[in-house]
Structure formats: C-alpha cells, structure tokens
Chains A and B, each alone.
Chain A
Amino acid sequence: MRRLCQIACTGLILCIGGLGFASESVASNGPSHHLGYILSADATQYRDDSLVPMRFSGGGGNIGLGWTFRRHRVQLAVNIGLGASYVTERMGNPGLVLPLWCQMSGYRLGFARWEHMTMHLGMFWRSRITQAMLYSWDDAHFYFLASHVAGPSARIEWPLPKNKKLIGAIYLPMLGIIGRPPAQRFVKQEIPNWDFLIVKPHENMELATFAIYRSVAADVGVMWEGKRSTMTFAYEFDFEYSNHPDTVYYLVHRLVFTQFIGIGGDS
C-alpha cells in the first residue's frame, strides 16, 4: 500500500507536461509582450520496446504557460508545460505517460509573403522528458525518452474574416541529444526515486543523429485576434521515435486551446 502511495505521489509530481505549439502565433499588432496559458486534450500513444513491444494508447491533458515577445520583425516565444495521459495496451493493462517540457523559438516574421499568406521562418529548441510509468509490466522502473533538440520551424498565416486567421506550423528537430534507459538495468528498484524525474533521464545521453532519433511536430488551427488578447484553437501532431537502445515511439494527437494577453507597450 505504501509503495502504491509512493508511486502515485511520484506520478502526481510528474504530472506536468505538454504544451501548445500554436501558442507561438500571437497578434500581429498590439502589445509587444504576451503572457498566456495553454490547455490541451491529448490522444497519446506510447510504445517502448525496452519493456514490451506493445502500443499503449489513451487520453490525457496538458497545462502550460507561455510568453511571447515581439519587436519589429522578430518574435521570441517560450512555453513550458506539464501533462499526463492514462494509457492502456491491448490487454487493458494501464500506465501513465507524463511529459514535461519547455520550448523556445525565434522567428523572422514575414519571411515570405504571397497574396494572402504570410510565412514566418525561425528556429526552435525543445527539451522534453517523457516519463512512462507502465507499472503493470514494470513496477520498479520508469521508462523515458528525454530529448533536447533544435531545428528549423516555419509558420504560415492566412487571414480569415472577423479578425481570425488560419494558422499552421511545422517543426523539424535536426540536432540534439537524447536520453534513454540503459539496455541492461541492474538496479532492482528505482521507483520512487526523485532523481529519476530529471537526473536519471540524463545519465545515458546520446547524440540524436537521424539514425537513432526522428521527430516531427506540426499544427493547424484558427486564431482569434482581439485588441489585447489572442485565442487559438488548433490540432497538433507530435511524434518522436528512437531506436536507442530499443525502439520507442511517442505520438500525440492534441487539441490545444491557448489564450494570450498582451502586457507592456505596443510592438
């Protein structure tokens, strides 16, 4: 019983994660600083062959905070988020997938323009620790994919009537490092061990070459622009894969709602 409580507490503390890429779209005019929140509903799939070659799928949510800064033709954004998904495999055994992440990005606004569409081009850096507690298959260890990656990103905006925009973005991590559990785990019991939240996922880091790590994220949605606030509703596709040391997949279909409020002076 005590162990179950400890596992539950660990899970609660880990219940932080998720975000919304779409939050990086902010009003094209108005205040230079925006602060906002991010809420999402996730359809999560996770498979880690280090444990069992079975797909765990289920649902969950995220909560996050964001900040954007815009001046002239440059925009910076920082989002942090925390989340949890309850997942089961085909036999019904449960688990929890718990992402914790932070993303920073910078854009050159208006990099290209067509008749109505505008494209912003930039770079992003994302750090994410996805912990999986698949306790019916392993009640002694966490399974995780930690990735610290950077790459190009592009956003497009297409104006719609009534202060709305159709928005879309794609993120392609090209460079970084990843952390995965070692192929042979000799410690009998690692749960609950608080250093497993942050420290353990970074003990076995590898260069995230294309041969061992692939990831892509994209979103499409609608943004409402107010005088000092923006709201966005978007669908996001978020995928990570690694074969180091065994195959792991992390795939999320996410519906994201964000609201950002302008603070400070106009840009």
Chain B
Amino acid sequence: MWICACVPDGSLKHRHTSTPAVRDDNWIVDLPQNQNIDSAGLDAAYEMLHSPDAFHNALALLVARNNRLVFETYTRTEADRDRLHHIQSSTKSFTSLVMGILQGRGYFTDLNATMASYWPEPFENEPQKSAITLRHLLTMRSGIDFNNDDFSVEMYVDGPKNPVSYILSKPMYAAPGQQFYYRDADPHLLSALITHVTGKTISMWASKQLFAPLGIQSYFWGEDAAGNTMGASGLFLKPRDLLKAGQLLLDNGVANGRQVVPKEWIAQATTKQSEAKSIGFDFGYYYWMVPEYGAISTWGHGGNFIFVAREHNVVMLLLSMPDTDDKRIGSKLPDFLPVVDVILKACR
C-alpha cells in the first residue's frame, strides 16, 4: 500500500464454512442428509449467495429443517453470528407475535374494535380517523398517508414528543379499511396502543413472553420519543435467534413444549388478510404470503427475510445489511426466491 499509495480494496464476501456451529442456544445442529436434504442443493444456494453479481449486502444464510439447524454461513465475518442485527421491517412480524400473545391474554379480542374505542383522546381532533380499527392497523389499511422514508426521518430524527397525535395529524389517502398501503405508521400506532392499554411496551411484553421462552437473551428494540417500542422497525437480534422466531411459526406458536403464541393467532396472521397487488404478495398480519412454496415470509429492508416453508418443514433466514438501497439484487423478496427454490427442491 505504501509503495503504490493506494488504500487496499477488500472482499465483500468470504467463503466461510456452512456447517452450523454447536452452541448452547437451544438449536440442535445436524447434517443436512439426516434431515433429508440433498447437500448439493445447499451447495447451490451457497454459490448463489456468493455470486459476484448478487447478494452484495448479504451477511448470513441459515437453514433449519425439522427443528434442526443444518446450514449456517456468514459472508462477511463469522463474528456476525454473535452480533445483533437490525432486521428492519421484519420487526413488524414480531409486533404481530406480541399482538397474538396479548390476545391470548384477553387483550384486544375484537380486532374490529376501533383504536379510538380504547384511546379516544388522540382522536378528538381527528374524527375521520376514529374509524380506524385494530384490523386496519394490522393489515396496513388505516388510510393514513405517511410514507416510510418520511416516517423514518420524522420519527427517529425529529422525534415528536407525542408520536400518536403526530401520526394522526397526517392526511388520509383513503377512508379507513379501503385500501392497502404498506407503511410504518400503522404498526407504530398499534405499538403505542399496546403501551397505552396494557401499561407495558411491546419490548417489555416480548422480553418475557416471547424472547424468554425462545431462549433469546440478547436483543435491542428502539423506542420513539414517548417511550413506545418502534412497532415497524428497530428490532436487533442475532441470526440464530431470528431463526427461532421462524421455527415458532412453523410449530404453530409452540416453543420448547410451551404454547408461546396462540395457534389461532399464528393461523390468522399467516393467512391472507390484505391483497397487496402493488407489491406482488398477499399480506397477513405483518407477514407476506408466498403460496407457490406454501410459505410465508417476513421482509425487512435491505434483504432481511425469515422464510417459513410449512410444506417442507423448513425455516430459512437471509440476513443482509439493513440500510442499503433497494435496487440491489438480493434486497427484495423475489430476489431471494431462487435461493429458496434450490433449497426446497433439495428437500426430499
């Protein structure tokens, strides 16, 4: 470097092992063939991940079948295994799980109830929005016009002291319930409502009722200026812990022999509740439907997916850098499906 006076260029990806590490974290590690997965398929997925033309921002790919971790690889550094990673909008799916837990405890049993019926004060000056129901919030149909780029800047940087009133002061693009429009405001309103009604934030609920039963000890979940957990993004977890959340869905809400999330909620959340034609996938309660694989997926910006293929009893995680632009190959759910395809075809 000193001779040519150049800063050395580095490699984005390194060919680390794909054999899962044995750790004391509730994951049982196994060989793919023991779980009836053809290793050649996983090798093909590995090569796709390491393609020079795609998945530049990928950090990790993990695969579990039959509740056994069979594939685990990190493209940058194996230290990523023990780091907390921001999963962007995959956070919404955890908000959904907490909502399910709360419903199982007797909260929010009627999803057709309006948010205003629980919390009238913020709606006093917003009568048009008082018709927004919990179901609208869960299915991105509140009608509030607050796009996600503005949401990130205004909620994280500007930090309004009364986030709920701030969100509700935004204009409407449609009457409540009329139209799907994917945005962060809806899950965030739901998060604030949970705090208001239960006296605990989503993060507090998740810590004891979701993460603890899954054996997740380390996480970070951001808050707004009023202390509400960010309902749409801001959750950081370790890769193997993220995969546990996928396994929880596959097991219909059961983890370590305990019903953590009601089975009925999992069923509702992971079936079509909204048609999202503009995006190309139908939407449950903060989950995306991928019917060609009998699967559902979370979808976080940059390429962060927890993919649950029920028919194959497979859970996958693609973890990527969270703040890259969406033009990269590998950052959208359709980009990930070819990898999914080779893995599922390898399942006997």
Contacts and interface: CB of A to CB of B under 8 A. Distances in A.
Interface string A51-65: 011110100000000
A188 interface: yes
Contacts, number: 86
Contacts of A190: 156-157
Interface in B273-320: none
Interface residue range, chain A? 35 or more
B321 interface: yes
A158 interface: no
B236 A3 contact: no
Contact of B153 (A89, A141, A192, A251): A192
A163 interface: no
A2 interface: yes
B86 A49 contact: no
A45 interface: yes
Contacts of B233: 188
B15 interface: no
Interface in A96-150: 135-141
A189 B153 CA distance: 7
B191 to A, nearest CB: 14
B217 to A, nearest CB: 16
B153 to A, nearest CB: 6
Interface string A17-41: 0000000000000000000000000
B321 A138 contact: yes
A91 B328 CA distance: 11
A192 B157 contact: yes
Nearest to B10: A53
Interface in B118-174: 149-150, 152-153, 155-157
Nearest to B11: A53
Nearest to A246: B77
Given A137-B321, A139-B323, A188-B222, A6 B153 contact: yes
Contact of B7 (A46, A140, A187, A191): A46
B232 to A, nearest CB: 10
B212 interface: no
Contacts of A224: none
Given A137-B321, A187-B222, A188-B233, A53 B12 contact: yes
Contacts of B68: none
A244 interface: no
Interface residues of B, number: 31
- Residue among B7, B8, B57 having the largest count of chain A Cβ atoms under 10 Å: B7
B5 A251 contact: yes
B323 A137 contact: yes
B12 A249 contact: no
B24 interface: no
Interface in B1-52: 5-12
B84 interface: yes
A189 B5 contact: no
Contacts of A141: 323
B152 A189 contact: yes
A186 B222 contact: yes
Contacts of B112: none
A188 B9 contact: no
Nearest to A138: B323
Given A54-B10, A55-B10, A188 B86 contact: yes
Given A138-B323, A187-B222, A2 B5 contact: no
A169 to B, nearest CB: 17
B10 A3 contact: no
B200 interface: no
A137 B157 contact: no
A46 B6 CA distance: 10
A154 B56 CA distance: 45
A186 B8 CA distance: 29
A251 B76 CA distance: 24
B324 interface: yes
Interface string A164-196: 000000000000000000001011111111000
B323 A91 contact: no
Nearest to B232: A188
A188 B149 CA distance: 12
A162 interface: no
B107 interface: no
Contacts of B57: 137
A162 B156 CA distance: 61
Contacts of A57: 7
10 contacts: A2-B150, A3-B153, A45-B6, A47-B8, A55-B7, A55-B10, A137-B321, A139-B323, A186-B222, A251-B6
Given A49-B10, A53-B9, A191-B157, 17 more contacts: A2-B150, A2-B153, A45-B6, A47-B8, A53-B10, A54-B9, A55-B6, A55-B9, A135-B325, A138-B324, A139-B323, A184-B84, A187-B222, A188-B222, A189-B155, A190-B157, A251-B5
Q: List 5 tightest A-B contacts by C-beta distance, closest first.
A: A53-B10, A189-B156, A45-B7, A138-B323, A249-B7
